[in-house]
Amino acid sequence: MRRNWIKINLHQSKQCSSSVARLISLIANPTSSKVSRQSSVYNTFNKSMSTSSPDQLEGLIDSNFYPPEIKLDPQRDSRTAVNLEEEYTILQRSLSVEKFDSRKFSDAYIICKAIRDNNADFGDKTQKFLSKFREKLSESLVVDVLKLLQNAELAVKFFIWVGRQIGYNHTLPVYETLLDIMGCNNADRIPDHFLREIRDDDDKEVLGKLLNVLIRKYCQNGSWNSALEELARLKDFGHKPSRMTYNALIQVFLEANKIDSANLLYTEMANAGYKMDPHTLGSFAYSLCKFRKWKEALEIINKENFALDTVLYTRMIGGLCEGSLFEEAMEFLNRMRCDSCIPNVLTYRTLLCGCLNKGKLGRCKRILSMMIAEGCYPSPKIYNSLVHAYCKSGDFPYAYKLLKETGKYGVRPNSVIFNIFIGAICGTNDIITPDKLQLAEMAYGQMLEGGFVLNKVNVSNYARCLCEVGKFERAYNVIREMMSKGFVPDTSTYSNVISFLCDASKLEKAFWLFKEMKKNGVVPNVHTYTILIDSFCKAGLILQGRKWFDEMVTNGCSPNVVTYTVLIHAYLKAKKISKANELFEIMVSCDCSPNVVTITALIDGYCKAGEVEKALQIYSRMKGNKEKEKEKENLDVGMYFRGKKIESLEPNVVTYGALVDGLCKANKVNEARGLLDVMAFEGCEPNNIVYDALIDGLLKNGKLEEAEEVYSRMCENGYNPNVFTYGSMIDKMFKDNRLDLATRVLSKMLENSCPPNVIIYTEMVDGLCKVGKTDEAYKLMEMMETKGCKPNVVTYTAMINGFGKIGKVEKSLEIFKEMGMKSCAPNYVTYSVLIHHCCAFGFLDEALGLLEEMKMTYWPLHMASYCKVIEGFNREFLINLGVVDGISEFDSIPVIPVYKLLFDGYRKAGKLEVALELFKEMSELSSLMDKNLYFLMIESLSVSNRVDKAFELYGDMISKGFVPELSVFVNLVKGLVKVNRLEEAIQLSWSLCGMDIRWLPYDNKK
């Protein structure tokens, strides 16, 4: 199609000749022989521009353009050079050139400036200037000019002018750029006057092309509504959609799931004589299959005369899977083979993903087998999704099979797949079963062999699961093993694992892990310190808790209100009220305001320290009672309520629970019962903890009717009795020797789907043993294991004690061995009870062996300051805490009674060498030996003709400041007589008579 173009008439008289044209003719050939003229021109430019480069106007002029009437006349050129500066000023005014830089010398910039500075006037002057760029017109130049203009009106005028130029045709990028400037990306419709202006141009087809591009752009953006509107406007202007436009419209409707609209457009397209392109046909077939119209899809494919190939079959199979037509999808797979279309890896992956997305995991197994048989493999991403899907469905064995056989399925093991599997097992709050944990451990081992690591979340979750099943050593080593494979733990990772170990009461492991954390340069945060302080304080190790508190303050880690609260609570429970108050003052001085949890901890701490009255006063202050008399009597209580924030704190259900429990333990059950009514009045609903504490207190105080009332009230308010409620009842039944009622309560628990915990089972076992029914107790202990409740050390100790009391020491020893086989470590009480029964019934060698075992594996210490025996910790751990050094400072050491039992047994049995060895160990363990042990040992040595050893022991006793009784001298005299050392016996007797000794009265009991 021919284009109209504007001729620029340059064959006019010299008077009408443009100064612009004359200047361009002078600059046009910089290689001309007229060097003097060129220098003159450059000198002129140098005076007017800030740069000295002679090529800065390159691109401004057309180097091949020479106006016909202007000849290269040297004389005329010399005349023209005189007015050259004036001519350049005219050009400068025309282009509004104020300051040039290197980026402004592009053709696009110059054209843009010319158009803008002529105020949208596309008259002869502007067109004459633009005509100099006709031969340079290209797609990129036009696009650049349009982008620089950024003005719809100017852009349309330039677009129309460019389209008229011979040798140039608009391209798709040009149309798209113009549409962008006209605002097609916005919600506003393109104004009609722009389109009419383009339509009024001589080339009528340009508007049709522009609108087709506009429709396609809307389709690409998913704006099918706008695309329909422009389609109507296209037709209103008398144009038709192109094949590409129809394809784009069909695709946008298919993506919007408007299958009927797509069908209508397809009919219109077919009537216009167009056919769909392969991509659109594939999308149409996919959508029809998705809507269960696969027969229509086949009809359209036949109508389009398109031969079904692997690509199209794959699209249709994908649509069938999306429409949950899995049987039809498998039939299409068979039809492919019949049509000599070989399914490829993409076909199988499409089929596999379709079944996977719909949760058809059974079919996935079948498809996987078919894939492998034909040498096709799932992608790593799909394979990971498969493992995740099987884990999510609970089929962990098959998921592990996939994990283990990655090589078979053409997938390399990777860190992601191991994290998916282990995270699925350990990442829930459900109780993990042994089978699932075993799979996780096997996967973990396989992961270590492959050199992969868990992520931070899964490290914590895996360690938690190991702690839950008692595999503390493995949990402790998880971080170390991960670090060996390149894992870099952070503070949160260490804190989580330390928290799990502390929750499982494995303080030693937590302690060593914390030391390792600091050794590896990981800085503990307030959360880490608070976990350790809380756990160690609860175990009675308050000194260590305070050490960590001081350490965190020294290291610049500010304690929070939780840190202060747990330590204050521990001090109060240990009756270290001054320490608690001191710490409270520090907390307030550090601008750390106590909260309701802190005040509740104060109430609970005072209750557990036996200071119930003070706890009540704190509660009263919380309620806003500020009686002057109480304030005078208890000035120290007021210190907890300085500040408006604290004054506004209200007691919550936890506060009431702590107070009710404290009052009940102080046998003030009436006051506790009254608090229940106060809670109802205040609108604070009691929970299970409050009800359980009150029922337990009422039962222990013999108030059965009131306990029954509270029980009924609890049930009426929707709280079912739990193990603690039933435990209080069973305890009361046993104390009243009502075994029949206790058994009925236990049956009731099982009926109400409330499985007894280890505490209730232990109460039952202990109660049965106390009344001599050890066989029934043992059967109950066996039953609790079948119910999934493992006996603990208290259960086993009660059972050992029960058999020991009736003389069945062999059975007690058998149960003791059973403990070890079931990974239940005996404690100090277990050893003491068993050694006592062994000594009582003559099993001295077994008793001595138990003592040696206890010395090797056990380091108990009576901490008088904590009123608690610290049990179960090994010696190295206690040395690191610095508590073993203080062993001589305490009078009471729990192991001494065990030594006494053994000592007495061996002495009575005549095995004095062993008795002497035990005596020696006791004297090394305790600085304050019992003098009666000396008396008994001297008597036994004298009777057994070992008088010299008896006198040696007598001398040791005197050196330690003990005053001997008369019986000691009598036994020594008898010993001398027995070995025929009569003279020494007479001499000792006369010396006693000559001494002014005031004998202590003889104790017949001794």
Give dist(CA 679, CA 918) in Å, integer: 59
DSSP code at position 183? T
CA distance 466 to 798: 29
Mean pLDDT of 688-709: 87
Instruction: Tell me: pLDDT of 420 over 90.
Output: yes
Segment 579-606, tens digit of pLDDT? 998 999 999 888 888 888 988 999 989 8
Assigned domain for 842 exists = no
pLDDT of 10 reads 32
What is the four-CA torsion angle of 982, 984, 987, 991, rounded to 10 degrees? -130
Residues whose CB falls within 8 Å of the CB of residue 207, separated by 6 or more in sequence, listed in order: 195, 198, 199, 237, 239
Asked whether residue 754 is domain-assigned, the answer is: no
Which range, of 159-163, 366-370, 747-751, averages the lowest pLDDT?
747-751
C-alpha dihedral sign at 912, 913, 916, 917 = negative
Q: By C-alpha distance, which of 957, 953, 919 is closest to 938?
A: 953
Q: What number of H helices and E strands is found in the chain? A: 56, 2
Q: Give the integer Cα–Cα distance in Å for 613 and 626.
A: 15
Which of the four pLDDT bands, split at 50, 70 and 90, describes residue 561? very high
Q: Are 988 and 969 in contact (CB under 8 A)?
A: yes
In the predicted model, is pLDDT for residue 612 greater than 70?
A: yes
Give the burial class of 69: count Cβ atoms within 10 A of its Cβ; 0-12 exposed, 13-18 middle, 19 or more buried. middle
Q: HEC states along 566-591? A: HHHHHHHHCCCHHHHHHHHHHHHHCC
pLDDT bin (cut points 50, 70, 90) of residue 554 is very high
- By C-alpha distance, which of 586, 536, 538 is closest to 564? 586
* Other CB atoms within 10 Å distance of the CB of residue 749: 22
Could you give the maximum distance between any two Cα atoms of the chain, in Å? Answer: 168
Distance CA 107, CA 552 (A): 69
State residue 3's pLDDT score. Answer: 37
891 has pLDDT over 70: no
Q: Which of residues 80, 99, 118 is at a domain's end?
A: 99
E-state strands within 725-781: none
At 469 the three-state DSSP class reads coil
Alpha helix segments (H runs only) across 405-525: 415-426, 434-450, 456-468, 472-484, 491-503, 507-519
Residues 6+ apart with CB under 8 A from 504: 467, 468, 470, 472
pLDDT of residue 121: 63
Per the listing, tokens 């599997």 go with 421
Give the lowest-confidence range in 248-262, 423-437, 493-507, 639-653. Answer: 639-653
**Crossing angle between the packed helical segments 688-700 and 723-735, to the nearest 10 degrees:** 0
How long, in residues, is the chain?
1006
The answer to whether position 995 is within a domain reads yes
Contact between residue 267 and residue 300 where contact means Cβ atoms under 8 Å apart: no
Q: Which residues contact 297 (CB under 8 A, 6 or more apart)?
A: 284, 285, 288, 289, 316, 319
* Segment 895-935, tens digit of pLDDT: 667 667 777 777 777 777 777 777 777 776 666 677 777 77
550, 555, 556, 561 alpha-carbon torsion, rounded to 10°: -40
**Model-level pTM greater than 0.85?**
no
Per the DSSP assignment, residues forming a β-bridge with 863 are 868
The Cα–Cα gap between 823 and 95 comes to 95
Residue 371 resides in a domain: yes
* Token pair for 475: 């949990």
Q: Is the pLDDT of residue 734 over 90?
A: no
Token digits for 380? 């790593």
Helical axes 107-117 vs 84-95, angle rounded to 10° = 80
**Given this model, what pLDDT does residue 552 score?**
92
Residue 736 lies in a domain: no
Q: What is the DSSP letter of 640?
A: G
Taken in order 619, 620, 623, 629, the sign of the CA dihedral is negative
Q: Are 947 and 975 in contact (CB under 8 A)?
A: yes
Angstrom distance (rounded) from CA 441 to CA 953: 60
Long-range Cβ contact pairs of 644-648 (< 8 A, separation 24 or more): 645/593, 646/593, 646/594, 646/599
Q: Collapsing DSSP states into helix, strand and coil, what is residue 157?
A: helix
Task: Calculate mean pLDDT across residues 990-1003.
Answer: 60
String of DSSP letters for 470-491: T-HHHHHHHHHHHHHTT----H
The CA radius of gyration of the chain, in Å to the nearest whole number, is 49
What is the 8-class DSSP label of residue 166?
T
Which among 366-380, 414-428, 941-955 has the top mean pLDDT? 414-428
Q: In this structure, what DSSP letter does residue 984 have?
A: H
Inter-residue contact 546 to 570 (CB < 8 Å): no
Question: How far is 865 from 483, CA to CA, in rounded Å?
Answer: 41
Does residue 68 belong to any structural domain of this protein?
yes
At residue 76, what is the residue type? R
Distance in angstroms (rounded) separating the CA atoms of residues 629 and 805: 56
Cα separation, 727 vs 735, in Å, equals 12
Which pLDDT score is estimated for 443? 92
Mean pLDDT of 444-451: 89
CATH number at residue 365: 1.25.40.10
pLDDT band at 463 (very low <50, low <70, confident <90, very high): confident
Give me the torsion for CA of 310, 315, 316, 320, rounded to 10°.
130
How far is the CA of 352 from the CAs of 133, 202, 333, 417, in angstroms?
A: 59, 57, 12, 18
Show which of 314, 349, 376 is a domain's final residue. Answer: 376
The residues near 402 (Cβ < 8 Å, ≥ 6 apart) are 383, 386, 387, 390, 409
The residue behind tokens 């039952």 is: 764
pLDDT(975) > 60: yes
For residue 571, is pLDDT > 70?
A: yes
Tokens of 930: 């019992």
Give CA–CA dist 180/214, Å, rounded: 9
Q: Looking at residue 523, what DSSP letter applies?
A: P
Among 99, 116, 146, identify where a domain stops.
99
Q: What is the dihedral of CA 513, 514, 518, 522, to 10 degrees?
A: 90
Instruction: Output the CA angle 760-765-771, nearest 5 degrees.
Output: 125
Greater confidence, 373 or 632?
Answer: 373
What is the total count of domains within the chain? 3
pLDDT value at residue 152: 80
Q: Domain residues for 323?
A: 275-376
* Residue 732 lies inside a defined structural domain of this protein: no
| End-to-end Cα distance, the chain | 135
Q: What are phi and psi of 466, to 5 degrees?
A: -65, -40
Contact 838, 844 (CB under 8 A): yes
DSSP-assigned letters across all residues of 903-917: HHHHHHTT-HHHHHH
Q: CA-CA distance, 280 to 267, in Å (whole number)?
A: 14
Residue 313 lies in a domain: yes
Give residue-wise pLDDT tens across range 1-53: 333 333 333 333 333 333 333 333 333 333 333 333 333 333 333 333 333 33
Between CA 445 and CA 64 the distance in angstroms is 79
Helical axes 172-182 vs 152-163, angle rounded to 10°: 160
Mean pLDDT over all residues of the chain? 77
Run of H or E residues at 493: helix 491-503
